[in-house]
Amino acid sequence: MRVLSSANRRWLDLALRLALGAAFVYAGALKISDSLQFADNIASFQILPITLVNPFALSLPVFEILAGLLLITGFLGRPASLGILIISGIFVAAIVSALARGLTIDCGCFGTSEPSRARMWFDLGRDAVLLIAAVAAYSFQRTRSVPRSEVADA
């Protein structure tokens, strides 16, 4: 069942790609400008082993920027949107886990702020919205460029 017309779907796809891509490029740029602080943010979650904290702190912002740029341009939009979907899911799971363990931390998602539980709930809500948008963006990307094999299967 098609709820949206193809023109509306195109506009929604474009709006989602631009908004999500810009959000992730911005988030990545903030993190890359202060890797040390971001490493502290990652360590405060107490999830990753210490040996992986710094490599992750150096790589994740680059991933966010690259995936964001690819999503904006539409080049390799499918892996880019899936990548954003996966890391959004990881962010949501990490914050839920930190809340459940009673931690009071700063997630460092969009720059730094004072650690607070209220802020963590806000971060969780924002990341959940990003996750939903990423699911929609990936879904649009999949239907936008349906390969012949998939058409044949349908």
Alpha-carbon gap, residue 127 to 106, rounded angstroms: 14
Residue 22's nearest CA partner among 61, 65, 60 is: 65
**Count of chain residues binding other proteins (CB under 8 A):** 38
Q: Pick one of 12, 82, 96, 135: the residue that binds other proteins (CB under 8 A).
A: 82
Can residue 112 be called a binding residue for other proteins (CB under 8 A)? yes
Min dist. Cβ of residue 35 to other proteins (A): 5
Cα 119 to Cα 124: distance, rounded to the nearest angstrom: 9
Instruction: Tell me if 107 sits within 8 A of 120, measured CB to CB.
Output: yes
Q: Is 95 in the site for other proteins (CB under 8 A)?
A: no
- Classify each residue of 19-31 as buried b or exposed e, where b means 16 or more C-beta atoms within 10 Å of its C-beta: ebbebbbebbebb
Nearest of 145, 103, 140, 135 to residue 120 by alpha carbon: 103
Say if residues 64 and 87 touch (Cβ distance below 8 Å). Answer: yes
Query: Which of residues 7 and 50 has its CB atom nearest to other proteins in the complex?
Result: 50
Residues 2-21 that bind other proteins (CB under 8 A): none
Q: Which of residues 33-72 bind other proteins (CB under 8 A)?
A: 35-36, 39-40, 43, 50-51, 53-55, 57-63, 66-67, 70
149 part of the interface to other proteins, by CB under 8 A: yes
Please report, as ranges, the residues that interact with other proteins according to CB under 8 A.
32, 35-36, 39-40, 43, 50-51, 53-55, 57-63, 66-67, 70, 76, 78-80, 82-83, 86, 104, 112, 114-115, 142, 147, 149-150, 152-153
